[in-house]
Chain A
Amino acid sequence: MKTLTVSVVTPDGPILEDAYDMVSCKAESGELGIMPGHIPMVAPLTISAVRLKGNGQSDRIAVSGGFLEVRPDKVTILAQSAERPSDIDIDRARKAKERAEQRMADKQSDIDMRRAELSLKRAINRLDVHDNNF
């Protein structure tokens, strides 16, 4: 059976490069499932988990600020940050979540609100990926 080469790349270096059977992720326009032989495509990703299935196992990666480039036999995910569950700093994510919630409760200017919202999303995403909550 054909496989997809998946590589996840961030500015701090490549995170992962391996062969999988299927990639499912959440793009801005909705959930996407990609299997080998997919039409070439580019789509921005939301702050979410990317799930990779193959070899009877499945991996998860928390991404933020990323997009996806698909070719028939290759998927590249470019993200500003991407972490495997084992690399996630759980304490930091928890603290970031608390801080963001605090800030949103304080109701400051719109820009701060938007930033707090984004950082809350990132923190929740990291915690979910770490604890496998789906």
Chain B
Amino acid sequence: MASLRDIKGRINSTKKTKQITKAMEMVSASKLNRAEQNARSFVPYSEKIQEVVTGIAAGGGTVKHPMLESREVKRTGYVVITSDRGLAGAYNSSVLRRVYQEIKQNHSSTDEYTLITLGRVGRDFFRNRNMPIDKEVTGISDQPDFADISTITSETVQLYTDGKIDQLYMYYNHYVSAITQEVTEKKVLPLTNLGEQGKAAASSSYEYEPSQEEILEVLLPQYAESLIYGALLDGKASEHAARMTAMKSATDNADDLIGDLSLSYNRARQAAITQEITEIVGGAAALE
């Protein structure tokens, strides 16, 4: 049986760990609030841009743009959104596992795909496995501005425009609620399903100045970039939620552990006292 001192030490260290996890839980909770707000304030922009894009894509019929048409796929781009730090439960591993499986299934050589990673964990994961990373961003703030990531989004869309990739997928954790996050796969480019979506929504016909093609030229890259930004905001909200839940269960576990340890501490103390009494009584009896 462990000595009193050992148990006492373990109780103390567990208490300290609990303090840390508790603090991290509260920090994540407040960050989650902010991240949720950010994701909400992005909604009007994304809805509007989607409305206009689908309106044009469905209304015209004759409009042609490389981003709207699928072409033969020689190389696929994967945007993977992870966090910079760990301690967020299954947040990173579930996304990474999914992407890894997907790539192993669909590609036999590293020439057929390329990765764009947002977040340190994802970058390190693929780098360790010698997979090609085309672009990477780490150290994205917890409340990212559009300006913070506009470079990587426009460069990513540029890869498609330049013909270096022929389709673009995005993997991230979709924020369902504070306790549920879902790994989501989203096809960003080409934007093939816009036409069907738009047919229902195309109520108003617009005048285009100067022309539909030229507007699409400006609008579609912006739209694709906004999709990536939206996913990042969604991912950030999920990250904080995942970390909060993970830290909450860590705190609960610490509580359980402290309970168990206190019980055995008390038992050991009681045993020691009982033993002392028995010894004294035994000693006294021997004297009589």
Residues of A that sit less than 8 Å from B by CB: 7, 9-14, 27-29, 32, 39-44, 65, 67, 69, 71, 76, 78, 80-81
Contact = CB atoms under 8 A, between A and B. Distances in A.
Given A12-B38, A44-B214, 12 more contacts: A9-B45, A9-B48, A11-B46, A11-B229, A12-B41, A13-B41, A28-B210, A29-B210, A32-B209, A43-B210, A44-B215, A76-B48
B93 interface: no
Contacts of A44: 214-215, 218-219
B48 A41 contact: no
B214 A14 contact: no
Given A13-B42, A40-B205, A81 B147 contact: yes
Contact size class for B?
20 to 34
20 contacts: A7-B44, A10-B146, A11-B229, A12-B145, A13-B38, A13-B44, A14-B44, A28-B210, A28-B214, A28-B218, A41-B209, A42-B52, A42-B56, A42-B208, A65-B222, A69-B48, A78-B49, A78-B52, A78-B222, A81-B147
A75 to B, nearest CB: 12
B45 A42 contact: no
B41 A14 contact: yes
Contacts, number: 76
Contacts of B218: 28, 44, 67
B212 to A, nearest CB: 9
Contact of A78 (B45, B56, B150): B45
B146 A11 contact: yes
Nearest to B56: A42
Contacts of B229: 11
A26 to B, nearest CB: 12
B48 A78 contact: yes
A41 B206 contact: yes
B145 A41 contact: no
Contacts of A67: 52, 215, 218-219, 222
A32 B150 CA distance: 28
Nearest to B43: A13
Contacts of A42: 52, 56, 206-209, 215
A116 to B, nearest CB: 14
Nearest to A13: B41
B166 to A, nearest CB: 23
B204 interface: yes
B226 interface: yes
B150 A80 contact: yes
A32 B210 CA distance: 12
A12 B219 contact: no
A39 B210 contact: no
Interface string B174-215: 000000000000000000000000000000111111100011
- A-B interface, 9 closest residue pairs, ranked by CB to CB distance from nearest: A13-B41, A11-B146, A43-B209, A41-B207, A44-B218, A29-B210, A9-B45, A40-B206, A42-B206
